[in-house]
Chain A
Amino acid sequence: MTLSKRGRTVRNAIYCVLVYLFLFLPIAVVVAGSFNATESRPYLTWKGFSLMWYQRLFDGSQAALMEAFGHTMLIALTSTLLSTVIGTLVAVGMYRYRFRGKALIDALLYVPVVIPEIVMGISLLVLFAQAQVPRGMLTLVIAHTTFCIPFVVFNVRARLAGYDVSVEEASLDLGANRVQTFWNITVPVLAPGIGAGALLAFTLSIDDVIISYFVNGKTSVFPLKVMESIKMGVPPSVNALSAILLLFTVIFVVLTQSDLLSRHRSE
Chain B
Amino acid sequence: MNEKIIVDVSHVDKYYGDNHVVSDMNLKVREGEFLTLLGSSGCGKTTTLRMIAGFEDPTSGEICIEGNPVAGKAPFERNVNTVFQSYALFPHMTIFDNVAYGLRIAKVPKADIATRVSDILELVQLEGFERRYPAQLSGGQKQRVAIARALVMHPTVLLLDEPLGALDLKLRKQMQLELKRLQRKLGITFVYVTHDQEEAMTMSDRIAVMHDGVLDQLGTPEEIYERPQTKFVATFIGETNIFEGCVNEVDTTKRISVGLENGNVTVAPQEGFRFGEFVTISVRPEKLRVSLEPREGFSLYGVVRDYIYVGSVIKCNVVLPNSNEVRFERLAGDELPKPGEVVFPYWEPDDCVLIHNRDNELYTALESIRLV
Contacts and interface: CB of A to CB of B under 8 A. Distances in A.
A267 B133 CA distance: 7
Contact of B76 (A173, A184, A191): A173
Contacts of B102: 174-176
A172 B75 CA distance: 6
A267 B153 CA distance: 26
Contact of B105 (A175, A189, A191): A175
Contacts of B89: 167, 170
Interface stretch (B4-12, B78-86, B187-195, B284-292): B78-86
A177 interface: yes
Contacts of B133: 266-267
B136 interface: yes
Nearest to B84: A166
Interface string B66-82: 00000000111000111
Interface in A168-206: 169-177, 180, 184-185, 188-189, 191
A59 interface: no
A189 B88 contact: no
Interface residues of B, number: 26
Contacts of B105: 174-176, 180
Interface residues of A, number: 20
B309 interface: no
Nearest to A191: B92
Given A173-B81, A175-B153, A164 B135 contact: no
Given A169-B55, A173-B81, A164 B88 contact: yes
Nearest to A266: B133
B92 A188 contact: yes
> What does DSSP make chain A's interface, helix, strand, loop or mixed?
helix
B149 interface: yes
Contacts of B153: 174-175
A23 to B, nearest CB: 34
Nearest to A176: B105
A177 B74 contact: yes
Residue with the greatest number of chain A CB neighbours at <10 A, chosen from B75, B86, B153: B75
B91 A175 contact: no
Contact of B75 (A169, A184, A267): A169
Contact of B82 (A167, A170, A177, A185): A170
Contacts of A184: 101
Interface string B118-155: 00000000000000010110000000000001100100
B106 interface: yes
Residue with the greatest number of chain B CB neighbours at <10 A, chosen from A170, A176, A267: A170
A166 B75 CA distance: 13
Given A174-B149, A175-B102, A189 B76 contact: no
A177 B92 contact: no
Nearest to A168: B88
B273 interface: no
Contacts of B135: 266-267
23 contacts: A166-B84, A166-B88, A167-B88, A167-B90, A169-B82, A169-B84, A170-B84, A170-B88, A170-B89, A170-B90, A172-B55, A172-B76, A173-B75, A174-B102, A174-B105, A174-B149, A175-B102, A175-B106, A176-B76, A176-B101, A189-B90, A266-B136, A267-B91
Interface of B: 53-55, 74-76, 80-82, 84, 86, 88-92, 101-102, 105-106, 133, 135-136, 149-150, 153
Interface of A: 164, 166-167, 169-177, 180, 184-185, 188-189, 191, 266-267
Which 7 residue pairs spanning A and B have beta carbons closest together? A174-B102, A166-B88, A170-B88, A266-B133, A172-B75, A267-B135, A175-B105
